Amino acid sequence: MGEPLLLLQAASRYRGDLEDRRTEILVVGLNDHRGFLEEFLRRAGVHRPWQGAKVRTQQIYRIGDAQKRVRVDVVIRLLTEDGATDTLVFIECKFNPDEDDHAHWFPPEQGPDQLTALWQETAGAERRLVAIVSDCDLENPARPVPKEYEHVLGWREIAELAGRAGGPGGWQELARDPSAHAKQRVLLEIWAYLKGDVVGALEDEDLVAIGHADQAWNRVYAVLERVSEILGWHAVDDEWTTLEGTTSVNYIGTEPPDDSWLDPADGGWLYVVITNNEWDSAAAVGEPQIYAGWGVGLDREQLDGLAKSDWPSMVRRAGLVPIFDRDGAYAFARRDLKDFVTPASTISGQARSIVEWARPAVETALRGPEPEL
């Protein structure tokens, strides 16, 4: 943890968690594009010259006699010619896409602890403690940013800094050219991700896809309904869109067995899920998937803690997929939907094939690593 990432690694590292995903993508841009880093540093009040820079994410420090553990989202070290740290910048990132006054925010001790960690580190003349928050929280009296953060930026301003670093007007079109410098293409992706760039105009093939979409999903519902009947699950199918907003989720579910560790009182549920893409994919077009396993309802702080624990790695080692979404965590087995569609030509045949796979898949998931909450 902490080493610089490629953009695609950053985009997939935190499954479903948009705050951490934005943080990782920010770090890629600061590492790869000097102009973007310079724009950011100027906004953060850093004015001393520097020869090199190291930008890392999720750094751990220890403070006080008790060696209290302090995590910092992003750390920028600016180096002198001989490699010594001359300037140190700590950054804490928050993201509130639903503009919710009760969304995860700065714990009371976070600002003081990060400031203490910042000043105990060896550095030259400059240290900065910076917060990046959603624009809705910049002037929200219900969610004041702790006073320890001397510079506070909104995510929209971060996108604007990336745009400024790209060069004169029109740089985005130039960056889309295959001959463009790699750092400009990376900056374009970061700018588009943070800004929410447009997806492009409708094309003829889109009209065909739109015409067939409803018919395809009606067949998905029919298959899931038949799977539910065979399994004896009482829940009806339902639909939602993943946190990324690009993957449609259609599922059936039921309560876990009475002797299971999974508690329905905590939102514990068993699922068979069909999606039009991999769950955490940001791509508009992908390969339909089927998932089977369990999920549990969690609040934001529980999700953050679980995402940063050993549980995701343990789940992967068990051959399962750990997933984090708006209000819960999931452990699923996964297959390409085509594995069940191609061999069978009827809804009943496809449903039976899915059940033959899903029933032991759910049992395997229940025997897998339990989350420590």
For residue 36, give the H/E element and its range.
helix 34-43
Cα angle: 23, vertex 126, 41; to 5 degrees: 40
| For residue 88, pLDDT beyond 70 | yes
Query: Is 282 a residue whose pLDDT tops 50?
Result: yes
Residues 136-154 have a mean pLDDT of 93
Stronger pLDDT, 196 or 326, i.e. the higher one? 326
pLDDT at 14 over 50: no
Are the CB atoms for 25 and 11 separated by under 8 Å? yes
pLDDT band at 10 (very low <50, low <70, confident <90, very high): very low
In whole numbers, what is the pLDDT of the chain averaged over residues?
82
Q: Are 224 and 253 in contact (CB under 8 A)?
A: no
Average pLDDT over residues 280-290: 72
Q: Which amino acid, residue 17?
A: D
Mean local confidence (pLDDT), 292-318:
90
Condensed to tens digits (0 to 9), the pLDDT of residues 199-213 reads: 344 445 545 555 566
pLDDT by residue (tens digit) across 32-84?
889 999 999 999 999 888 888 999 988 999 999 899 999 999 999 998 888 88
- For residues 147 and 95, is the Cβ–Cβ distance under 8 A? no
Share of the chain above pLDDT 70, in %: 83
User: Which range (32-41, 97-106, 264-273) has the least confidence?
Assistant: 264-273
pLDDT score at 4 = 42
d(Cα 276, Cα 220) in Å, to the nearest integer?
Answer: 10
- Number of helical H runs and strand E runs in the chain: 12, 11
What's the average model confidence in pLDDT over 93-100?
A: 89
Q: In this predicted structure, what is the pLDDT of residue 24?
A: 83
pLDDT of 196: 58
Angstrom CA distances, 240 to 199, 243, 247, 301, stand at 21, 9, 9, 22
**How far apart (Å, rounded) are the C-alpha atoms in residues 205 and 158?**
35
3-state secondary structure of 271: strand
Q: Which band of pLDDT confidence, cut at 50, 70 and 90, is reported for residue 108? A: very high
pLDDT digits (tens, 9 = 90+) for 169-185: 678 778 877 777 878 88
Distance CA 277, CA 227 (A): 20
CA 240 – CA 218 distance, rounded (Å): 15
Angle at which helix 34-43 crosses helix 155-166, to 10 degrees, equals 130
Question: Which pLDDT band, with edges at 50, 70 and 90, does 324 fall under?
Answer: confident
Q: Is the pLDDT of residue 312 over 50?
A: yes
Question: Lowest mean pLDDT: which of 24-33, 106-115, 128-137, 165-174?
Answer: 165-174
Instruction: Just give the CATH number of 7-195.
Output: 3.40.1350
Give pLDDT, residue 23. 87
Within 13 Å and on the Cβ side, how many CA atoms surround 334? Answer: 21
Q: Per-residue pLDDT for 5 more than 80? A: no
344 versus 59: which is more confidently predicted?
59
pLDDT band per the 50, 70, 90 thresholds, residue 307: confident
The pLDDT-based confidence of 9 (bands split at 50, 70, 90) is very low
pLDDT (0 to 100) of residue 137 = 92
